[in-house]
Structure 1
């Protein structure tokens, strides 16, 4: 096991295998190596020896399962659920018994995972599940998971019925002169009382889909064809669910009912996490996605086998996969994760792809492409650098920017002593050296939407900017508090520095930002961070059960809470910036405070550390300059307008279904876009609402839209860089003033001596 801090986005693993749109082609998942923390070693021993006997009971219960129809639970899943329950109820940081009270929480969370907007089930459906509400604990402990599977099958039935009704509505037409609206945010709404109410909701939903396409200039036939295909695809995806999908959703409902950042990861989800941490995999180097019934190449990774071959292109469709010299298996109509499993393999092994070229019709001649799997580096997910130039003349400054998407670390490579193992701190140290050579005047670390990663990497990255000292404190379940320290003397960068965060900056990002704030080493800029102050470890259920080959998956379980070195915690409250930027995030729906079962905010004794306090003497000046600048900045003023508009729409939670009202709103939004961006018509078109969903445009149009969004002005990044430039100027001015004062004092002393 390895003790790491995970992004809150990993709480969404419930639907990973069913909803993945694109993926790299990874090698077989490996077990994470041991960490440096004694608590984990003790936990590992206790779990293994305690639960080997417990597992036998789970095996007995699993054997009682009846012959399974489609989407019925398997014996392995019953054993996995039972084993997971024993671990979670004994060794979690927040010990909660698996009883009737917990069963009710699991029940509600499971329903929310299945039908978050309450568009499929009716109150009658919920009432029919009443007996299950307090029996899910028994289902897990007795190894009989038929109840949650029955709920899922009801969900599938309702999806088919609702989409069938939506399909019927396409032949009727709509009155867009009526004054009515569609309630698009229904997560807190009551369940529809009956069939009449749920059908009316779907009528409004289909009417809204139609109106969006109509406003985008589509005629009735094009609208009908587009929506018919959309709804058919919904049904197709819903009926391709597998037993492991249902099990993953249900087990996450259980795990997350204990605490928000505890998850069950099936083998596929665990492999994906492992890849995201080490930023490398063995595969062909292609990003795939489902488009209609084909698995389509969305991107070729530079330097990978697919790109090197010169025989594959973006848009090519994979219609078959073969292993070595084996026959090629047809994959038309398959899910992307199923095709990934066929393509992944060991390094230097052969895979054969049967390909329908991008520009060819469905009956065109195929081509077969043989590739040798190789190691792929995921550079797009690694730390990157750039330089922003600010000011002119004597105020001109070059600010180095390092964007860090995650605190990644190749645990296995580090454990094996690989001198070239990949990690966030090593990459950032290298990028700092490169920026020094470019003679930058200051450095900005961009942690926006960085959801966390390795705790060790958070400590080591902090060490690049402070001398030796404590970085973070950990409180274990027994109340004991340990301090994680930077043991390396010296710094990689001692110049002007700032950290940019937003609501999506979580966990390890918050450790890093909080430590630099407590030391007074750098101003924190942006909006309050996520508020995740907990530590998770990965527990291999297959290691405990001694399964070979693996079949149970992993638990990501909270085992500690971390605290700032000043004794506070980021839990719930996050890191509060020294200089705040406008925020579009809703704390009620995103962030730790949005969870109903988050751990509370508490405080511990401060660690012993010596602040460098480089920020407080300059903070008032930095704030004043920032306020003065944005008061005259047109881009920033437009951003404030956008934030206000977004909040207005969010609070409304309704969309007008009156064509005149919607057309006026659309024209107002488009006029605002045109007045701000003098770019090409293609770029403007890509940013406007065309009424289509992801995958309904051509692949080229989807990629163009993504590029347009990526190329849009990053007003916040620009202003953050200017704040760092202000730091550099203030530091230079004060250094020069101190030098003049020292020279003046020396001259006065010399005169006195004469």
Structure 2
């Protein structure tokens, strides 16, 4: 597995990540609506009341100053648009935002937002003007210092001009190194910057309000969020892994909505009338609704027109991928249906670990679980339908059992969590009843959530693979498995998120007609493992560690300035299936010896070291000779690795010949970019393979050393299939 060399594309892309991601319905950006005024007061009531919030805070001048700071940083995280002079002019709002939220008169947030839009457009105009100047020579020791998160605000526009000149020069150099001619580079960058200006022009009052209320919410704690009605719908969709529509993933490119992928089994794919790369230029409802020209629309507005209740119809005017855009569109009619997003669901595979020294090969089942998803609406109906991570995993485990696999690895890498209930249910598949997580509420009361179902789905050998991106529900599951001694924990220390959130629908208080005020994802409790330890800040520490890919100072709960501290409470009685302490030295010795000969693992380790070294610099050279030499070295390394893979009989890396083309993802062919992402999923994964090998090692060591097996495994565990 190769770690991509990730360097920022441009300051424009960096700076606009947060607000552009919040594009929602059109609204007047000039002033807040009555609904927003009510929503602000409702959010204040929630976050300042200990009956709801785990760590409520009084909304006073001190907190107002924090909201002010976070709001500016949310809009301009890289300090690329506002100057120190701008911030000084806005200082009058620093102690007024608390009153604005309490009263619902959030006009100051809109005034700040409007200034932000003005400054972004000024910067974009400046960047476009630079394309016509003679500044694109790349000699000497110039560098582009792209990481400005902790930098001071630029003193004035002259200082920003210098910064932006380096940013534009870096964009130009990347395209030049990719073989583009000057006129092509100029055209590409001018279009790129113009598109950013257009996107900023589409930001509106809903964007301003959500960004502002999130600055308030995250000032309470890092995991409290405000969702406007459409954002709330998207969140519920991501948790339920389902939606009602046509089953097409869309992306905007320039002014047109393009089909990126089709969801298997969805109406779009089954019809055979739509394919990746097709452009949707018009949308009509049912059989007789008027067709609306959607060229130039925001993507979420187009999606809202295409989605709809299952059984209803939608008509689309489509320009095929192979046709020019001004061709006559083809009109197709699709019946909407409920779509299951299977790509995000749990998946299983079986890996064969070769035997050594005459020992038999081991077959290890792998469950890749990207999230702890759950259809909350289906759960409320208690009808056994709807998406459920634990139910999907259970089905996979039953299949593994029927295939007589020797052990199971649960892959939770980059699983950011989800449903607490699903974490409890999933743990119950591996333990025979008992406490899984302790939940302490704001008043101090501790509730124990337990697996109450007798029996287990998988009683055999188990390992859990984690990394720094494993958080929340992933940490509950991995930590409980570790506390029970039920399986080996392998990988990196996890994120360290030890708090529980609940969705609060703001429409329930004013008895709103329809969805008007949004929802709050509110921190209501802190969780602790059965042994009493919190995962907060510290995370779950693996039994067998892999090299650290992301430092704790760069990513994780410990990077938040207002995160809760680590603590612990009393343990609750629970079974210890085993204690792997005596086994770990042998497993580590075997692991170290194996990875020393594993070329894929060594390449991954080298790439991690290179990636961390380069990102620690926080700058890139603007010397063409240096960058070209670096590019040539990377290309030679990739070629050499592919040749070595062939010689060793290893799987080729499907992206092993890829070089930087200087483009952003939205500038590439969308259908081809989607295929590239699919190919990336098939890249060699030495960490998963090594995790399976470690579990196979544990089986072999315990099989051959009965005394150690008795020391490591309890009588209850020994009765399972940990040993044959």
User: Taking structure 1 as the reference length, what is the TM-score of the superposition?
Assistant: 0.88
Aligned to 1:348: 311
**Does residue 380 of structure 1 match 2:380?**
no
Deviations 1:527-562 (A, max 9, x none): 010000001111000012210112000011001000
1:683-722 equivalences in 2 (<5 Å): 683-684=654-655, 687-722=658-693
Query: What is the aligned partner in structure 2 of residue 88 from structure 1?
Result: 47
Shift of 1:737: 10
The aligned runs of 1:255-654 (5 Å cut-off) are: 255-324=217-286, 325-392=288-355, 394-654=359-619
CA distance in 2, matches of 1:542, 1:351: 29
Q: Note closer, same or farther for the CA distance 1:738–1:563 as it changes in structure 2 (3 Å cut).
A: closer
Residue matched to 1:29 = none
Structure 1 contact 255–263 (Cα < 8 Å) conserved? yes
Q: CA deviation at 1:16?
A: 8.0
Q: CA deviation at 1:143?
A: 1.8
Distance in 2 of aligned mates of 1:18 and 1:193: 26
Match of 1:227 in 2: 189
* Paired position in structure 2 for 1:167: 128
Deviations 1:39-79 (A, max 9, x none): xxxxxxxxxxxxxxxxxxxxxxxxxxxxx964321111011
Deviation, structure 1 residue 279: 1.4
Separation in 2 of the partners of 1:445 and 1:317?
40
Name which of structure 1's ranges 628-637 and 460-469 shifts more when overlaid on structure 2. Answer: 628-637
Corresponding residue of 1:9:
none
Residue 723 of structure 1 pairs with residue 694 of structure 2 = yes
Kept after mapping to 1: 8 A contact 2:642/2:653: no
Report which stretch shifted further, 391-400 or 191-200: 391-400
Give the secondary-structure state (helix, strand or coil) at the position aligned to 1:212.
helix
Measured after TM superposition, the shift of residue 115 of structure 1 is 0.6
Equivalence for 2:31: 72
Partner SS state of residue 582, structure 1: coil
Shift of residue 17, structure 1, vs aligned partner: 8.4
- How far did 1:709 drift? 2.5
State the alpha-carbon separation in 1 of the partners of residues 122 and 164 from structure 2.
Answer: 11
Question: In the alignment, which residue of structure 1 is the partner of 2:649?
Answer: none
Q: Deviations over 1:252-298 (max 9, x none)?
A: 11000000000001111111111122212111000000011110110
CA-to-partner distance for each residue in 1:552-608, whole Å, 9 max, x for gaps? Answer: 000110010001111111000000001111122132231100100001111111111
Which 10-residue stretch deviates more, 176-185 or 567-576? 176-185
Paired residue secondary structure (1:299): strand
Q: How far has the Cα of 1:15 moved from its partner?
A: 7.4
Cα distance, 1:736 vs structure 2: 11
Are 2:72 and 1:107 aligned?
A: no
State the alpha-carbon separation in 2 of the partners of residues 703 and 567 from structure 1. Answer: 45
Deviation of residue 614 (structure 1)? 4.9
Aligned partners of 2:96, 2:64: CA distance in 1, in Å? 6
Q: State the SS of the aligned residue for 1:394.
A: coil
Give the distance between the partners of 1:210 and 1:421, measured in 2 at CA: 49
Deviation at 1:19, TM superposition (A): 2.6
Tell me the residue number matched to 1:150: 111
Quote the Cα distance in structure 2 between the aligned partners of 1:228 and 1:586: 37
Matched, 1:116 2:77: yes
**Structure-1 separation of matches of 2:495 and 2:261:** 31
Normalising by structure 2, what TM-score? 0.91
Contact 1:286/1:297, CA 8 A, preserved across alignment: yes
Distance (Å, rounded) in 2 between the aligned partners of 1:478 and 1:704? 51
Count of residue correspondences: 682
C-alpha spacing 1:20/1:707, structure 2 compared with 1 (3 Å) = farther
Output the CA distance in 2 between the equivalents of 1:336 and 1:382: 25
Q: Residue 417 of structure 1: CA displacement? A: 2.5
CA distance in 1, matches of 2:474, 2:57: 28
What 5-or-longer segments of structure 2 have no aligned partner? Answer: 1-13, 647-651, 711-724
**Deviations, residues 142-196 of structure 1 (Å, cap 9, x unaligned):** 2211111111111111111111111111111312113110011111111111111
Asked if 1:658 corresponds to 2:623, the answer is yes
Moved more, 207-216 or 302-311: 302-311
Unaligned runs of 5+ in 1: 1-11, 24-67, 740-754
Tell me the equivalent position of 1:182: 144
Distance 1:560 1:506 in 2: 16
Tell me if structure 1 keeps the 8 A contact 2:702–2:709: no
Give the secondary-structure state (helix, strand or coil) at the position aligned to 1:387: strand
Secondary structure at the aligned position of 2:681 is classed as helix
Judged with a 3 Å threshold, the aligned counterparts in structure 2 of structure 1 residues 581 and 274 are, in CA distance, closer, same or farther, namely same
Q: Deviations over 1:289-327 (max 9, x none)?
A: 001111011011111111111111111111111111111
Which secondary structure does the structure 2 equivalent of 1:695 belong to? helix
3-state SS of paired residue (2:73) = helix
Q: Distance in 1 between matches of 2:149 and 2:436?
A: 39
Q: 1:16, 1:558 → 2: CA distance?
A: 22
Counterpart contact for 2:654–2:683, Cα < 8 Å = no
8 Å Cα contact 1:687/1:708 also seen in 2: no
Conservation of the 8 A alpha-carbon contact between 1:522 and 1:614: no
The C-alpha deviation readout for 1:694-743, integer Å capped at 9, x for no partner, is: 1111124313432342222111111111111112222333469989xxxx
Q: In 2, Cα distance between the equivalents of 1:432 and 1:335?
A: 43
Within the alignment, does 1:201 sit opposite 2:203 as a pair? no
Q: Paired residue for 1:212, among 171, 174, 177?
A: 174
Output the CA distance in 2 between the equivalents of 1:602 and 1:437: 43
SS of aligned partner of 2:68: helix
Task: Give the stretch that moved more between structures: 502-511 or 601-610.
Answer: 601-610
Whole-Å separation in 1 of the counterparts to 2:642 and 2:110: 51
**Corresponding residue for 2:3?**
none
**What is the distance in 2 between the residues matched to 1:70 and 1:96?**
29
The CA RMSD over aligned residues, in Å, is 2.1
